[in-house]
A = this chain, B = another copy of it.
Amino acid sequence: AVPVAQPPAAPAEPATVISSYGEINYNRPKDHSQAQADIRRFVIGLQHRFDEQTKMVSELEVEHSIASASDKGEVEVEQLYLEHRLNDTYGLRAGLFLMPVGLLNTNHEPTAYYGVERNFVETAIIPSTWREGGLQVFGEHDNGISWSAGITTGFDLTKWDASSSEGRESPLASIHQEMQLAKANNLAYFGSVDWRGIPGLRLGASVFDGKAAHGTAGFASPGAKVGLWDLHAKWTPGAWDLSALYARGSIKGAGDFNLTLAGAATPVPNAFDGWYAQAAYRWQLAGDRVLAPFVRYERYNTGRGFDGLPVGLNPGSYGTEGVSTVGLNFQLNPNVVFKADLQRFRLDTGRNRLDLGVGYAF
């Protein structure tokens, strides 16, 4: 074992950086026989700066501890892109990158959010951790505006599994491609903008749009399209940390495909959305310890309507779930966090639970 030294390199010289984060979670629902402990994720990051302008960013993630032909975990390349800065303001990225959507997707280390589990809106509606492969241009301006826009791979609606509940839990996560031999006949477009013009305040929005059938032979809805947009805000006056987000997704033109599924458990929804509001108070303790109680309220609906299905077979709407979370983040130092929370569900009350977690990021 050879220790890795501290940053001696001048900014123009090549340098390699290793980072890591991890989460270990314990969930105890009302039905205690469902209590579970899990290495939710262990991530190794590798970055390399080739020169002052160009770097490589990558993340390798193991979920659920073990990946093999007979285990339930998986190994994932979560990011792998090259970034080239044209000047202090503009830059380009090529490869597999996190989509600049919402508050959590690009900022998903356990030390960065409140609560043991990531919020539902940014997992069920925005399919975090959502990444696509493609090209991106971005800008960071002195007036506090930052933005990005690009062309990427998109979703594959032909993967929709109407017999599974996955499409109901998170419509877009069930048809994401993660750049694994991804169908790429149809590409998608995205844009994002954030404003940080006032210290402590961030306001932002994003939009994504792309066809999802890829000319697949025999697929009933060749023109089907996926869209997603969000609005988000974060404000940190003093010790308070307040945030709110609304996200809405759609799968348009999938009515003919739905007809072929008539009677199946999970048809394709035409719209799904959700919002949350969250307030935390960061209480600074001795050293750099922080005790942060927080509350969050979320509402989301993963199926607002279903095209193409006659009245008797059309679910209409799944109904809007509401989740209240009350909890505590304790940061032993800025890189290590212990978490506890209670979650109550409005509709699916059997999911009410206690969560405990440990996480780190460096």
- A residues contacting B by CB (< 8 A) are 1-9, 13-20, 22, 24, 26, 28, 32-39, 42, 44-48, 50-51, 54, 56, 58, 60, 62, 64-77, 80, 82, 84, 94-96, 133, 153, 178-185, 214-217, 332-333, 335-336, 338, 358, 360, 362
- Please state if A335 and B66 are interface contacts (CB–CB under 8 Å): no
**From B5, B65, B179, B216, contact of A24 by CB (8 A):** B179
User: For the complex, what is the distance from the CA of A179 to the CA of B41, rounded to whole Å?
Assistant: 11
User: For the complex, what is the distance from the CA of A362 to the CA of B47, rounded to whole Å?
Assistant: 11
- Please state if B66 and A69 are interface contacts (CB–CB under 8 Å): no
Q: What residues of B have a CB within 8 angstroms of the CB of A22 in the complex? A: 56, 58, 80, 95
Q: What residues of B have a CB within 8 angstroms of the CB of A215 in the complex? A: 32-33
User: For the complex, what is the distance from the CA of A216 to the CA of B67, rounded to whole Å?
Assistant: 24
- Please state if A76 and B66 are interface contacts (CB–CB under 8 Å): yes
- Please state if B68 and A37 are interface contacts (CB–CB under 8 Å): no
In this complex, what residue of B is CB-closest to A214?
B33
Q: How far is the CB of A326 from chain B (nearest CB, A)?
A: 22
In this complex, what residue of B is CB-closest to A20?
B46
Q: What residues of B have a CB within 8 angstroms of the CB of A34 in the complex? A: 185
Q: How many copies does the complex hold?
A: 3
User: For the complex, what is the distance from the CA of A215 to the CA of B2, rounded to whole Å?
Assistant: 45
User: For the complex, what is the distance from the CA of A214 to the CA of B37, rounded to whole Å?
Assistant: 12
- Please state if A56 and B360 are interface contacts (CB–CB under 8 Å): yes
Extra 20 A-B pairs, beta carbons < 8 Å, given A2-B16, A39-B133: A2-B15, A2-B48, A3-B6, A4-B4, A16-B18, A22-B80, A22-B95, A24-B80, A33-B185, A34-B185, A36-B181, A37-B133, A38-B182, A60-B62, A62-B75, A65-B180, A66-B74, A71-B74, A82-B360, A94-B358
**From B1, B9, B360, contact of A19 by CB (8 A):** B1
Q: What residues of B have a CB within 8 angstroms of the CB of A42 in the complex? A: 58, 60, 77, 80
Q: How far is the CB of A192 from chain B (nearest CB, A)?
A: 21
- Please state if A133 and B6 are interface contacts (CB–CB under 8 Å): no
- Please state if A180 and B64 are interface contacts (CB–CB under 8 Å): yes
In this complex, what residue of B is CB-closest to A96?
B39
- Please state if B82 and A35 are interface contacts (CB–CB under 8 Å): no
Q: What residues of B have a CB within 8 angstroms of the CB of A184 in the complex? A: 26, 28, 35-37
Q: What residues of B have a CB within 8 angstroms of the CB of A62 in the complex? A: 60, 75, 77
In this complex, what residue of B is CB-closest to A33?
B215
User: For the complex, what is the distance from the CA of A84 to the CA of B68, rounded to whole Å?
Assistant: 32
Q: What residues of B have a CB within 8 angstroms of the CB of A68 in the complex? A: 67, 69, 71-75
- Please state if A72 and B181 are interface contacts (CB–CB under 8 Å): yes
